[in-house]
Amino acid sequence: MDWLRYLRDAVGEEEYIEEIEVKVEYEDGTKKKWIFSKNQDPVLEDDDDEEDED
């Protein structure tokens, strides 16, 4: 997974990041969103009903 390596390299050991959201789209069109927050367990949200904010 080259994108995972890129993310690790881009973020590195940054201490000031509070939250990272990762949107995943599968070949079948299914979308999921992971939210990784400092000092909290990761949260997985179904992203099927949400509009893309980008």
Triad 51, 53, 54: Cα angle to 5°: 130
> What confidence score (pLDDT) does residue 4 get?
85
Looking at per-residue pLDDT, the higher value among 54 and 24 belongs to 24
Triad 10, 14, 15: Cα angle to 5°: 160
Residue written as token pair 């992971």? 34
> What confidence score (pLDDT) does residue 21 get?
93
**Within 10 A of 22 (CB to CB), how many other CB atoms are there?**
14
The mean pLDDT value for 32-48 works out to: 88
> What confidence score (pLDDT) does residue 49 get?
56
Q: How far apart are CA 9 and CA 19, in angstroms?
A: 17
Q: How far apart are CA 25 and CA 48, in angstroms?
A: 10
